[in-house]
Structure 1
Amino acid sequence: MSSGGGYRGLQNFINEIRQCQSKEGERARIDKELANIRTKFKSDRGLSSYEKKKYIWKLLYIYVLGYDVEFGHMEAVALISSTKFSEKQVGYIAASVLLHENLEFVRLVINTMQKDLVSRDENYQCMALTAIANMGGREFAEALSGEVLKLLISSSTRNVVRKKAALCVLRLFRRNPDIISSDTFALKMGNLLQERDLGVLISSMSLLCGIVAKDSQGYEVVVPKVVAVLERVAKGIDIPQDYTYYGIPSPWLHVKCLRVLHYFPVIENDGVWTKLQEILRRTISSAPIDKNTNKNNALHAILFESISLMMHLNMDSEVLWQCVTLLGKFVSIKEPNIRYLGLENMSRLSLVPEMMQTIKAHQEQIVVSLNDPDISVRRRALDLLFRVCDRDNSHEIVDKLLAYLTTADFAIREELALKIAILSEKFASSLQWYVDVIISLIDKAGDHVSDQVWFRVVQIVTNNEELQAHCASNVLRKLQDGSSHETMLKLSAYVLGEFGQLLRGEAREIFHLLKDRLGSATPAAKGLILSAFAKILVRCGDEDISQQIRETFQRYGTIPDAELQQRSVEYAVLSAKKEAATVMATMPKFPERESSLLKMMQPEGGEGSLPAARSRAGVDAAGDALPAAASGDLLGLDDAIEAAPVVPLSVAEPAAAAPQGDPLDLLAGLSVAEPTPAADAAQASVAAAADPFGGFQDLTAPQDAGGEGANARVEGGTVEGWYSKLCISEKGVLYQDQYLQIGLKADYAKAQGRIMLFLGNKHEEELGQVQISVPPVPAYRIQPGQVPASIAAKAQVQIPIAVSCVEPTLDVPKLQVVYRVKGDAVKLDLQVRRLKPATS
């Protein structure tokens, strides 16, 4: 805005705006000025060069104040075409700020920019490059990338222009990666890295980092050049004073070189590898802690990027051991930023098995960080403790986390409770210790403990008779101490109802403790308490207690809650029958199943499987399309359906690939409607009769017949047959032809259904224009999640769908799937199981 220094009218306008006493006054003054400028632009009298620039500057000032500027764009574009430098400068600045790539008349400036790029005036070239980088979209990339690349590569171009050209190419590449091919550009990039000017070198390294972050294949030839630049900077060879920061030679270029090397998995040249190792070792061995904060920041940026690169390159354990020792010093520093970075990088190093013992030596200091005032540091310390926990130190860490739980910030209590539950189960020295830890966890943080945790305790205690009396005694003690949290109450009601008889002479105490909490309990907890009363009534010989329980059933038999009313009435009637003792016997053992909590510990291809830099660049290992599985199951649909959780009804987003596990796992294990083995066998026999091949046994794509058209033909069954099976099963094939296979996994609960569709491309080519639509069925509300536009060859995507039935109907929910293959469109009309209406 300094160019406005000679515009008296502009200065007066700015002063008037600053002197406004209210927002309304400012708005009125701006509206008045906008009306005046609009009138001037529409006037038949031509404006002078001074007036054009003055009014454009005023519009720019109004825009940066946050007000909409809906005119003046064409006048700014016209200034760009001027032959006067002052007018062109104002035009380019205004266009860079006011215009964006989606405006149609932006195309009008492309020709002018092209002329400025090929001109001999470096000022014009710099202004054009800056504007292109700010405005450029795909159309700019296609039209101007050639000229920009020429400026970057040409040795006759001034360095100030080449710096801007490199960053401009990076912007255009991000909008349209096709403008650069590794076949032709890799060698040119290598030449750019031999530049002696550090400004050009830093810009070129930024460009290289952006390119290899997307795809490093073909750029292996630049690795020796990058290491040579790194050596030059690390040794301070030929570094101008202008690029020295607090005595550190160009730390920005140093970090960029290290970051680029993250994208290359292997360095094959022995000489280059030896040189790089030497540089990294020197960085680790000479990492002082300075009192100057700015210098420290630069040193730490280099150090932490070097550590990350060492991990990526799998350097020897001795070097990594030095890294851990150095990070241990950072963890003990009071400065929160340094402590955070130390904990973060120590977490990365914990992924290396050989480093675990060395990191555990700093366990006490990590625990101290749990009390840091900065919540980011506390979170990082918690993550690191979670990583370093094993069977040797699990008791110590879990005890410290339980003690910390009572003072922990509410923002991390849920995460902390989950981590305690996982660690106590994974590294339990005995089941009794595990049960005691979880009961203590529920007592201290019941609000933050998920139902899966107490479900798991019930499952383990039920399956292990030696724990039953101990667990019952433990929860009874908690109730006697005054614990009344809902989760603890539900666990206590279940355990004491099932195993309370093992505590001799405690029936009266159990009854009164539960009864005192019945009135204030939630409906879910009340249901479990009533169930516990029913079992006490059948097993207890105390007539006084029995009479009080019957009165409780009678009272709750008339309340508005249908669930509790039904329980009370049925328990009252059942307790009077001679079969009551048999019906109310202790629950049988649950089938052995993997804990859903431990499934969270399974590797998911996240941190550790990708270099830190790749994660930083936003390259996600899990996308909409799953990679092809082993040859026996090209689509991996069987495993995907087994592993995928059903998305909640409130979610209407694309599902992440390869989910960790089914969150309904433990719920299924504890459901009162859990099928008996006989029922399972009966259902399995029905399914086997309907599908002798077991549903998902053959998922491989058939061989395409030569000369075959794109007409889809149903394979492996019939649509009606698949639908019939899905009426009695919650997972299976919904549709299959020679191009596409659709699998379904669902969870139905009365009027609501949560469905996950698995669309697998069996074809050797991409399936395009994929759509899922919902034909109107008045009785149903169907909400499909986001659908990808295409499915890659031999890939699979997952689509969540929420279904609810809002009124009685004989209709079934319907879906319409459309895709295009070999130029032809295929439309599928499918249906899923009918739901019970919400009003029934």
Structure 2
Amino acid sequence: MQVLEQLENRVVGAFDQLGIKFTPSSQRLRDLIRQIRSARTAAEERAVINKECAQIRDSFRAEDNTWRCRNVAKLLYIYMLGYPAHFGRLECLKLIASNRYTDKRIGYLGAMLLLDEKQDVHLLVTQSLKNDLINSNQYIAGLALCTLGSILSTEMSRDLAVDVEKLIKNSNPYLKKKAILCAIRIIRKVPELMEIYVPSVRNLLNEKNHGVLLGAIGLITEMCIRSPDILTHFRKLVPNLVRVLKNLIMSGYSPDHDVSGISDPFLQVRIIRLLRVLGKNDLESSESMNDILAQLVFLTETSTLAGQAILYELSQTLMSLCTTSSTLRVCTNTETTKNAGNSILHETVLTIMDIKSEPALRVLAVNILGRFLLNQDKNIRYVALNTLLRVVHADLSSIQRHRGTIVECLKDPDVSIKRRAMELCFALINRKNIVEMIDELCNFLQTCEPEFKADCSSNMFIAMEKYAPNKKWHVDQMIRILKSAGNNSRDDIVSSFISLISNTSELQLYTMHQLADMIRDDVTQQPLVQVAAWCIGEYGDQFQSSEYEGKKIDEEDIANLLIKILNYNAGLISTRQYAINALIKLTTRFPVLNEHVQSIMSVYGCNMNLDLQQRAVEYHSVLKNYDNLKDGLYEQMQPFEIKQSYIDEIEDDSYENKNEDEILHEKEKQKEEATKALLIIFGEDSSEVTPNSNEEASRMDPLADIFGNTTPAAKPSTSNVLDSFFGSNEPAAHSQSNDILDIFGSSNTQPEPKTVSAKSGLDDFFGMNSASTQNKSDTVSNSDFLDIFGSSQAKPIQNGHGEQLNGKKESMNVYEKNEVKITFEPCANGKGSSPTQHFIQLKAENLSFSNIVRDFIFSAAAPTSMKLQLSQPDKTNLQPFESLSQTIAVANPNKDKLRLRLKLSYRLNDLSIEEPVFVVNIPFFE
């Protein structure tokens, strides 16, 4: 090797002395492949490729045309190995522009691999493609068509669509079939160009070449699927398609097209598929193809793969027709020992369930799926479960007969079958079978994989909330579910179970004894422990006030249960939060525990977790310094409101024997009735609601798209009322509607605050300056003490929420959350406010003891009829108990009602917080 390199260097030197440029020959592609394959390590392979790429770059840089084709071919091989080859794109374009076929072939191959519509370089190929499409050499034109179909973009499609259409009319079958396939790609990219190909495609059905005919059928199918008008146009060609299909069936042996004794099964399948598209929802077309399709049923040999494929397409076509006799014939004459026969029956079932068929046909379809569930093939069982889940609303009563077989599928080792069976079981639950189904699902929950437990437990709770026969059974099953699901249970299960207990006073003692017995032995099931801790904190006094089955638990045992939860090292932080809250609440139920609880709080006052530490310090301070306040602070909570939930797949029992159209019609009717009822409540005439009410409302509220959609302040339209009725998060502008919607728990307005006489004591406890607030009407929302985890949401400010000074509305509380408070006050600002000019002084306060509010940014927006201007704030960081001020100037020339959308952004404890706030009816501008 060294000798050869020395010889090469001498030759190069000799040519240089003579003034002749020496170009060494490029390594052949096969030699490069052999060299790469002989590399023993990845590093050695990279070294070989990097060396070759360097030589290729040098060759491209030297404008060496001799070995360009070979170098591009090697570069494409390197690209297919996963190495970058972007530097060869322009060389591909140069090869495409060459007149040699071999250069064009490598150039077009490189373009298909290295270029796509996302790169602007591909547009440079357009002119070369246009020239090659009209080349007299059919192979060059074929290369151009293949490349166009591979890399075409919207612009390229528009430029070359007419050239492709001319090639479809060409007499050469080789170019014609490639042009048809390219036309399909153009239609998929730019559907509006399909009208160009309609006249030329119609004549293609008379072609004798099967390749051209196969492509033409595909092109017609694509156009019919994408355009109803073209579908109507091509329905006239159903007799022609039937004739072509009949000729295929009746033709003799043709060695060029015969596959297992069937003449061109690929073309037959394509024709049957097109007939299905053309005959769907059209009685005349269906009748014209019924005879040939029935003939196919009896003449097709199902023992071969080709015959099975034809029968599959045939079955789907029969299912799409408007008649039911052919469908029934398919059900009764199909060979079910083959997969093709099973696929036919599967599609037949879908058709029976989709059309308005007779009840007997529906029962037959469900029974077929029931037989599928007994099949040994897992794929067939999965298809059956998936299909039953899709059609469960169409005939629930018939599917209920196969409930036992479906439940058995929960024990299948295949996880896909197990998941589909689980989903179907939830869809089958109703008031009649709730006890049996929950028992089976609980058994499944104990043995299933962890990934199933969360979904299964949540869906079981929803089903029991809807269909539980009695409260005691409901509570027992919830405890059983939490125990079986363990730590895989979601938080919504815990909160929902707590709501159930708070609203079932007669079962609270029973529930607490059950939970106490469980956590006494095992505290590893954290969701169950959280429920137990909450119940003990709220209703712990019931342990001593009454006996249950002769058992009575004293206060020491109760406290020890909570201490056991706190001492569990593997416990969640949220579980310890529940336990600390329960302990502090027990001090009002059992005063003898005060000292014991204080010692526990003093220990947790040094906890590494900031939230636990803060809770412990505050609770310890209340016990030590504000003992007179603890009875009000830690009193028993009111029963929670249980919101009505529902299951998407499970409807009321009245839907069991109705098809989907009837169900949808009934739902729409119920929705309209609810709308009318709410409009009557609001005092609105339903006849005044027009379809354009949403558009009018959006024009009246130009702020609708700044921070997100909201209900306009104008008269509520039908859609707005329904959105609010079904739990929309949109703020309503009428306090009357909010009062009504609050019944359903969907109102976003703040609840009317209740007066708390102990406010001044709390101000002293939190270190606030009471001098600035002593004349105010001190109000504290109920949720301030209940929101121990900081989960309250920013709510829009409505009428009557301004604070009063000396009987006059002079300030407005806009936002109070995360220890940040923002108020609006009138600001004279020189000239003073008027109906056309408003000046507002914004004041932001940090109410925290130790946390610093950083990067405070206040943004505001007003309707387009107004002009808003914000002054620069005097600071952006707020130390504890610091405040900042900012002036808002609003020009209102039309004297419209002042409405503002605010956006607050700040960082607290390295946590970025963004909150939207909606402000209407500012009291001092009314």
Q: TM-score range by the shorter chain?
A: 0.5 to 0.7
User: Contact (CA 8 Å) 2:385, 2:420: kept in 1 or not?
Assistant: yes
Equivalent residue, structure 2, for 1:458: 498
Q: Per-residue deviation at 1:244?
A: 4.9
1:194-593 matches, cutoff 5 A: 199-200=211-212, 202-204=214-216, 206-207=218-219, 210-211=222-223, 216=228, 219-222=231-234, 237=249, 242=257, 244=259, 250=265, 254=269, 266-267=281-282, 269=284, 271-272=286-287, 277=324, 279-290=326-337, 296=339, 303-352=345-394, 355-503=395-543, 504=547, 505-508=552-555, 509-520=557-568, 521-540=571-590, 543=592, 548-556=596-604, 559=607, 561-566=612-617, 568-569=619-620, 572-573=623-624, 577=628, 584-593=634-643
1:617-632 matches, cutoff 5 A: 630-632=691-693
**Amino acid across the alignment from 1:174:** R
Any unmatched runs of 5+ in structure 1?
A: 1-6, 611-627, 648-660, 692-720, 731-747, 763-773, 782-803, 815-827
Deviations 1:669-727 (Å, cap 9, x if unpaired)?
A: 9966469xxxx9xx99x823589xxxxxxxxxxxxxxxxxxxxxxxxxxxxx9x97965
Q: Per-residue deviation at 1:95?
A: 2.0
In 2, distance between residues paired with 1:163 and 1:133?
12
Match of 2:108 among 86, 92, 105: 92
Identity of counterpart residues, as a percentage?
Answer: 20
In 2, distance between residues paired with 1:775 and 1:212?
61
Q: Secondary structure at the match of 2:183?
A: helix
Q: Per-residue deviation at 1:347?
A: 1.3
Rate the CA distance shift 1:255–1:310 in 2: closer, same or farther, 3 A. Answer: farther
Q: Per-residue deviation at 1:438?
A: 1.7
User: Contact (CA 8 Å) 1:209, 1:256: kept in 2 or not?
Assistant: no
Q: Per-residue deviation at 1:188?
A: 6.2
Equivalent residue, structure 1, for 2:38: 19
In 2, distance between residues paired with 1:121 and 1:59?
27
Q: Secondary structure at the match of 1:390?
A: coil
Equivalent residue, structure 2, for 1:107: 123
Match of 2:55 among 27, 36, 40: 36
In 2, distance between residues paired with 1:419 and 1:335?
29
In 1, distance between residues paired with 2:881 and 2:727?
30
Q: Per-residue deviation at 1:451?
A: 1.9
Deviations 1:408-447 (Å, cap 9, x if unpaired)?
A: 1222222222222222222212222222222221222232
Equivalent residue, structure 2, for 1:178: 192
Rate the CA distance shift 1:188–1:555 in 2: closer, same or farther, 3 A. Answer: same
Q: Secondary structure at the match of 2:533?
A: helix
Q: Per-residue deviation at 1:131?
A: 0.5
Deviations 1:722-741 (Å, cap 9, x if unpaired)?
A: x97965899xxxxxxxxxxx
**Amino acid across the alignment from 1:513:** L
Q: Secondary structure at the match of 2:86?
A: coil
In 2, distance between residues paired with 1:536 and 1:235?
90
Rate the CA distance shift 1:388–1:836 in 2: closer, same or farther, 3 A. Answer: same
**Amino acid across the alignment from 1:810:** L
Q: Secondary structure at the match of 1:688?
A: coil
User: Contact (CA 8 Å) 2:217, 2:270: kept in 1 or not?
Assistant: no
Q: Per-residue deviation at 1:39?
A: 3.8
Q: Per-residue deviation at 1:168?
A: 1.9
In 2, distance between residues paired with 1:135 and 1:320?
48
Equivalent residue, structure 1, for 2:838: none
Q: Per-residue deviation at 1:144?
A: 0.7
Equivalent residue, structure 1, for 2:703: none
**Amino acid across the alignment from 2:799:** A
Q: Secondary structure at the match of 1:588?
A: coil
User: Contact (CA 8 Å) 2:512, 2:532: kept in 1 or not?
Assistant: yes
**Amino acid across the alignment from 1:529:** A
Q: Secondary structure at the match of 2:884?
A: coil
Rate the CA distance shift 1:195–1:118 in 2: closer, same or farther, 3 A. Answer: same
Rate the CA distance shift 1:101–1:40 in 2: closer, same or farther, 3 A. Answer: same
Q: Per-residue deviation at 1:278?
A: 5.0
Are 1:810 and 2:860 an aligned pair?
A: no
The alignment yields a C-alpha RMSD, in angstroms, of 5.3
In 2, distance between residues paired with 1:169 and 1:779?
64
Equivalent residue, structure 1, for 2:798: 687
Equivalent residue, structure 2, for 1:165: 179
Rate the CA distance shift 1:377–1:215 in 2: closer, same or farther, 3 A. Answer: farther
**Amino acid across the alignment from 2:798:** A
Q: Per-residue deviation at 1:807?
A: 13
Deviations 1:228-286 (Å, cap 9, x if unpaired)?
A: 86998799736878475897974797489659968998436474475764554444434
Q: Per-residue deviation at 1:570?
A: 5.3
Q: Secondary structure at the match of 2:376?
A: coil
Q: Per-residue deviation at 1:365?
A: 2.6
TM-score calculated relative to the size of structure 2: 0.61
Q: Per-residue deviation at 1:455?
A: 1.5
Rate the CA distance shift 1:190–1:265 in 2: closer, same or farther, 3 A. Answer: same
Match of 2:77 among 53, 61, 64: 61
Question: Aligned residues, how many?
Answer: 677
Q: Per-residue deviation at 1:529?
A: 2.3
Rate the CA distance shift 1:811–1:286 in 2: closer, same or farther, 3 A. Answer: farther
In 1, distance between residues paired with 2:502 and 2:249?
71
User: Contact (CA 8 Å) 1:30, 1:62: kept in 2 or not?
Assistant: yes
Equivalent residue, structure 1, for 2:918: none
Q: Per-residue deviation at 1:177?
A: 3.0
Deviations 1:606-628 (Å, cap 9, x if unpaired)?
A: xx999xxxxxxxxxxxxxxxxx9
Bigger drift between 395-404 and 250-259 goes to: 250-259
Q: Per-residue deviation at 1:584?
A: 4.8
User: Contact (CA 8 Å) 1:330, 1:338: kept in 2 or not?
Assistant: yes
Any unmatched runs of 5+ in structure 2?
A: 1-25, 288-319, 653-658, 662-688, 699-718, 731-743, 752-780, 803-808, 819-845, 865-869, 889-898, 912-926
In 2, distance between residues paired with 1:641 and 1:584?
34
User: Contact (CA 8 Å) 2:173, 2:212: kept in 1 or not?
Assistant: yes
Deviations 1:546-572 (Å, cap 9, x if unpaired)?
A: 654454345445656343214532563
User: Contact (CA 8 Å) 2:92, 2:107: kept in 1 or not?
Assistant: yes
Bigger drift between 586-595 and 237-246 goes to: 237-246
Q: Secondary structure at the match of 2:126?
A: helix
User: Contact (CA 8 Å) 2:428, 2:650: kept in 1 or not?
Assistant: no
In 2, distance between residues paired with 1:328 and 1:478?
42
**Amino acid across the alignment from 2:34:** N
In 2, distance between residues paired with 1:470 and 1:324?
44
Q: Secondary structure at the match of 1:124?
A: helix
Rate the CA distance shift 1:73–1:398 in 2: closer, same or farther, 3 A. Answer: same
User: Contact (CA 8 Å) 1:186, 1:221: kept in 2 or not?
Assistant: no
User: Contact (CA 8 Å) 1:727, 1:833: kept in 2 or not?
Assistant: no
Q: Per-residue deviation at 1:371?
A: 3.2
Rate the CA distance shift 1:499–1:259 in 2: closer, same or farther, 3 A. Answer: farther
**Amino acid across the alignment from 1:118:** I
